[in-house]
Homo-oligomer: A and B are copies of this chain.
């Protein structure tokens, strides 16, 4: 492949938020070389082109993108920060491969922080202009959940909804952490939503969340969010264990 001159997205995603007050530094529209490389690799990893456990050689990546190893090194550090890549001293980088226990850990943290996030949104007076957007997506969700063949649409919409809510959080730090954790569990969340039954269960949680958000009930939004993530955790792990048995 030739030089990088396209496709900025995933890496910068953490910075594209929809807030107003706190964020002082304007986000740069240009991506640095390491960021561009990281974005490319990120896409491959989350899409599954690069399998978990697969090694990533600095030399090879540098050659592919026609840059030196310096920017590649930094790109790998960026991906490590997102948890997509694991770096071992003097042994190089590889696509992160999570154990079932680790998947559980991440979902537990996500549950707690999604609760914090959604409580914050429920208690935010400026949330009202977001609610129609959220409601619309949840309507889509309900429609997709009724059609067993639209599983992929359902999953993508859930992800979108999650990104929407995270971007709506007032806390830049919460956004950063949640985006990273969500990306790490992308593949497993997908696994947990692979049956129509699970999707019908999931849509109920979302509808309940919407109600709490509308009512401005922070505590309830928090509880609902936590339950939702914990549910998806259990679904993911169940499927994971099925797969592991073979």
Taking Cβ atoms with an 8 Å cutoff, the residues of A that contact B are: 21-22, 24-25, 28, 32, 74, 77, 81, 88-89, 99, 101-102, 105-106, 108-109, 112-113, 115-116, 170-174, 177
Contacts and interface: CB of A to CB of B under 8 A. Distances in A.
Main secondary structure of the interface of A (DSSP, over half): helix
- Kindly name the residue among A22, A81, A105 whose own CB sees the greatest number of chain B CB atoms within 10 A: A105
A89 B32 CA distance: 8
10 contacts: A22-B101, A74-B77, A77-B77, A105-B170, A105-B173, A108-B116, A109-B173, A112-B112, A112-B113, A112-B116
Contacts of A109: 113, 116, 171, 173-174, 177
Contacts of A105: 22, 170-174
Contacts of A99: 22, 24
A25 B99 CA distance: 13
The complex is assembled from copies of this chain, and their number is 2
Contacts of A88: 25
Contacts of A116: 108-109, 112
Nearest to A111: B116
Contacts of A170: 105
A115 B109 CA distance: 11
A106 B25 contact: no
Contact of A171 (B24, B108, B115): B108
